[in-house]
Copies of this chain bind each other. A is one copy, B any other.
Amino acid sequence: MMYLTRRERFNAAHMLSNPEWDREKNEQVFGKCSNPNWHGHNYVLFVTVKGEIQPDRGWVIDLKDLSKLLKEEVIDVIDHKNINIDVPFMKDKWASTEVLCEEIWKIIQQPIKKMGATLHCVKLVETENNYVEYYG
């Protein structure tokens, strides 16, 4: 079993806010992350798949296919966008790194299975000081 990781990047705006709370409560809980005028990040996405080495190609899957999938299903949808407003798969969901990571998992799990590999981990880096990982 071999683990293969592809890195992609996107830049997006977001804010953290619970719509059932007033602004004061949101500011108390989420601090500067709740700025109603938004802030943003350079997100870095690492997707790890596992599988056997294909005997006639020497690789687990074609990284170009994995990269194409990530670009079409994730990066093109979220890059230079507002996570809270513009991204269909984040509609009515928390625009946190944790939830974003989990939603990306849901989108790419089946397509990766069709490529002949198994999704192992989605890692999403928000800043140089924090990141989340989801293993399903």
Binding site for B on A (CB under 8 A): 1-9, 11-14, 16, 18, 20, 29-33, 35, 37-42, 48, 53, 56-60, 62-64, 67, 79-82, 85-86, 93-99, 101-102, 127-135
11 A–B contact pairs at CB < 8 A?
Answer: A3-B135, A4-B131, A7-B128, A13-B13, A13-B40, A16-B57, A18-B56, A37-B81, A38-B38, A39-B79, A58-B96
Closest chain-B Cβ to A57's Cβ sits at a distance in Å of 7
- The complex is assembled from copies of this chain, and their number is 6
Contact status A86-B35, CB under 8 Å: yes
Q: Which residue of B lies closest to A87 (CB)?
A: B37
Query: Which 8 pairs from chain A and chain B are nearest by CB?
Result: A40-B40, A58-B94, A32-B80, A58-B96, A37-B82, A13-B38, A3-B133, A13-B13
